[in-house]
Amino acid sequence: MQPSGNLHIGNYLGALKSWVRIQSDYECIFCIVDLHAVTVYQDPKELRSKIEEMAALYLAAGIDPKQSAIMVQSAVPAHAELAWMLTCVTPVGWLERMTQFKTKAAAQESVGDGLLQYPVLMAADILLYQAAIVPVGDDQSQHLELTRDIAQRFNSLYGDTFVMPSTSLPSVGARVMGLDDPTVKMSKSAAGAGHAVALLDPPGKARKAILRATTDSNPAVDFGNLGPGVANLLTIFQAFGGWSDEQMRAQFSGLRYGDLKKQVADMVLSHLEPFQKRYREIISEPGYVAGILRDGAARVEPVADSTVALVKRRMGLYTE
């Protein structure tokens, strides 16, 4: 995840929650992608502090640093190195077609090259570790497809080098929508109170945003005719609670929207409050998070370096 803006319940349900679940089944690397964050201007002081905040949020969510590596992208130079080599096999047309590039570019006065290269760097993040599975939210599916295209192109030019990574999306919560506008994805950068619930929002603020969420003109929940706002609230509840579709129908069919919102707020806060308590404990220990990031980088660096060495050999670049 990019250490920019405030992590919200969409990031949690789309990605972080699955990460916690899969870490007992896979050897996992969880990266804080600061090089991706600077594809648009970031205040340097703020960015620096957001990196450790994000690591603490991973830990508070339940990522176990003994099991999984948590590391910062810029601390392992091989990410940028491999990105350059992959750039050289990537047609620019593939990058210009990316939806996220088009949206972000439209919001900028002048478009930096880094914004276009963003998905190549993401491909490097993944291919560097020969990752089998990448658990992400739905908005990253296109970048994962591109990663496979880049890997395939490299493999066909230079011989079998990269493992093809598969995309893993959560069955519920892969695309959480804005509370104020359920036609757009909940986003860290969207301005305005009432759009998102940030993981570190004070409980009162979080509750208010949910109670004010946009619904529609129907009076009550009708599963045969769900508007996007109501569907989004139900998704948030279901993803946090881990309920089945049958349980959801039994609980919410015919319920008035005001009551639905109260139950959603209670469900979200029942997760947010203990989460925030763990976060405060984690950041109160001086040097704890920095130590975990140092250890994470040291653990993954040999893997990253050996992939770069392999790629260099394949391409005929200079190696000793």
Q: Establish whether 45 is a catalytic residue.
A: no
The catalytically annotated residue of 17, 185, 208, 262 is 185
Q: Which is nearer to ligand AMP, 189 or 253 (CB)?
A: 189
The catalytically annotated residue of 17, 50, 104, 261 is 104
**CB 147 to ligand AMP: min, Å:** 13
Query: Who's near 111: CB < 8 A, 6+ residues apart?
Result: 105
**CB 16 to ligand AMP: min, Å:** 7
**CB 227 to ligand AMP: min, Å:** 18
**CB 166 to ligand AMP: min, Å:** 14
The catalytically annotated residue of 188, 208, 262, 312 is 188
Alpha carbon of 248 to those of 52, 177, 218, 271: distances in Å?
Answer: 37, 19, 18, 18
| Signed CA dihedral, 215, 221, 223, 225: sign only | negative
Which residues are at the interface with ligand AMP (CB under 6 A)?
1-2, 10-11, 13-15, 136-137, 139-140, 174-176, 185-186, 188
Q: Establish whether 185 is a catalytic residue.
A: yes
Six-digit token pair at 39?
């594809």
Query: Who's near 227: CB < 8 A, 6+ residues apart?
Result: 182, 215, 216, 218
Alpha carbon of 241 to those of 69, 80, 101, 103, 244: distances in Å?
Answer: 27, 39, 34, 32, 9
Q: Which is nearer to ligand AMP, 51 or 176 (CB)?
A: 176
Q: Which is nearer to ligand AMP, 14 or 241 (CB)?
A: 14
Query: Using the 8-state DSSP alphabet, how is residue 256 labeled?
Result: B
Q: Which is nearer to ligand AMP, 213 or 308 (CB)?
A: 213
Active site residues: 104, 185, 188
